[in-house]
Amino acid sequence: MQYLTWRVLAGLNRKIEISFLLVGHTKFAPDWCFGLVKQKFRKTLVGCLDDIVRVVNQSASTNHAQLVGKEDGTTFVDQYDWAGFFQPFFRRGAFDGIKSWRHIVFSSATPGKAMARTHCDAEEQMLSLLAKNHLGWKPCPTDLPSILPPPGLPLERKKYLFDKIREFVPDCHKDTVCPNPLPTLTSSSLATPTPYPLTMPTPSLEATPTTSSLTMPTPSLEATLTPSPEAMLSPEATPTLSPPTPPRKRKRC
């Protein structure tokens, strides 16, 4: 309502009339066009915004798609901060109970005001929309509010699309619709990040003192059993070898 008032005050329109449909009687001609889009959509493989445009344009000659942006953040229709722009100029609560108004007219004959009726045969009521200190406000049509850049998807939403939805997207559109939000990480590490190592490091065996370093060295058996040269020359020390005793044979009864 504030935007329609601004258009009349800026001289872009002389009169604007808006009417709301009654509850239970909201079916009108554009619904037929949406129905044709649904029929085409059910029979078409859609994986990106360009596919949506093709579905709408091929659904009927009366349908024409207009994108406001792309997956990479490119915008075709700028969004302006109208709420912040209108805040100092309009009264708060001027349209309280807006659902009860069915017909509203904005006219250059009554600048800054709206003529409203609850139904077509009801008496018109004048609603003052401008703040008291801006009753004579005449905006310039080229003086527009600041443009709001698209904020983009939060990181958690990007992770969800990459981990849960990417497998259902056609291969040619995976990197467009569901790109990896953190290219240095894999999908498994994004799903279950590990803040600390699960296993403790194994201490080095070389740094651990052992009991073998505390014991006396064991003497070599070869040095203990080797006889002296004098003992080897003595006949008494020369060992005599006897033939081996043959095994006894068992007698058969």
DSSP per-residue letters across the chain: -HHHHHHHHTTS-SEEEEEPPPTT----THHHHHHHHHHHHHTS---SHHHHHHHHHHH-TT-----SB-TTS-BSS--B-HHHHHTTTB-TTTTTTGGG--EEEEETTSTTEEEEESSTTSPPEEEE-B-GGGTT----TT--PPB-------HHHHHHIIIIIGGGS-GGGHHHHS--SSTTS-HHHHHS--SS-SSPPPPPSTTS--GGGGSPPPPPHHHHHPPPHHHHH-STTSPP-PPPPPPPPPPP-
Same domain? For 9 and 90 the reply is yes
What is the total count of domains within the chain?
Answer: 2
Asked whether the predicted pLDDT for residue 120 surpasses 70, the reply is yes
Is residue 69 assigned to a domain? yes
Same domain? For 51 and 98 the reply is yes
Asked whether the predicted pLDDT for residue 239 surpasses 60, the reply is no
Same domain? For 159 and 111 the reply is no
Instruction: Name the burial class of residue 114, with classes exposed (0-12), middle (13-18) and buried (19+) by CB atoms within 10 angstroms of its CB.
Output: buried
Tens-place pLDDT, residues 130-161: 998 888 899 999 999 999 988 889 999 999 99
C-alpha distances out from residue 185 to 14, 71, 192, 216, Å: 58, 22, 11, 56
Same domain? For 77 and 164 the reply is no
More confident residue, 228 or 125: 125
Tell me the pLDDT of the chain averaged across its residues.
79
Among residues 69, 103, 134, the one where a domain terminates is: 134
Same domain? For 25 and 102 the reply is yes
Q: What pLDDT sits at residue 240? A: 53
Is residue 18 assigned to a domain? yes
Same domain? For 32 and 128 the reply is yes
Q: What pLDDT sits at residue 92? A: 85
Is residue 214 assigned to a domain? no
Mean pLDDT of 193-209: 47
Same domain? For 123 and 6 the reply is yes
Q: Are 217 and 200 in contact (CB under 8 A)?
A: no
Same domain? For 41 and 114 the reply is yes
Mean pLDDT of 165-194: 74
* Six token digits for residue 246: 């043959």
Is residue 197 assigned to a domain? no
More confident residue, 175 or 228: 175
Asked whether the predicted pLDDT for residue 14 surpasses 60, the reply is yes
Q: Which domain holds residue 110?
A: 2-134
Mean pLDDT of 180-189: 64
Same domain? For 57 and 102 the reply is yes
First to last CA, the chain: 130
Contacts of 173 (CB under 8 A, 6+ apart): 47, 48
Same domain? For 12 and 120 the reply is yes
Q: Of 99-108, 122-131, 217-226, where does mean pLDDT reach its minimum? A: 217-226
User: Which amino acid type is present at position 54?
Assistant: R
Is residue 239 assigned to a domain? no
Is residue 203 assigned to a domain? no
Mean pLDDT of 107-123: 90
Q: Of 82-91, 108-117, 235-244, where does mean pLDDT reach its minimum? A: 235-244
Among residues 101, 134, 167, the one where a domain terminates is: 134
Instruction: Name the burial class of residue 16, with classes exposed (0-12), middle (13-18) and buried (19+) by CB atoms within 10 angstroms of its CB.
Output: middle
Is residue 149 assigned to a domain? no
Tens-place pLDDT, residues 40-97: 999 999 999 999 999 999 999 999 999 999 988 889 999 999 999 999 999 888 877 7
Same domain? For 61 and 178 the reply is no
Is residue 58 assigned to a domain? yes
Same domain? For 49 and 171 the reply is no
Mean pLDDT of 224-230: 50
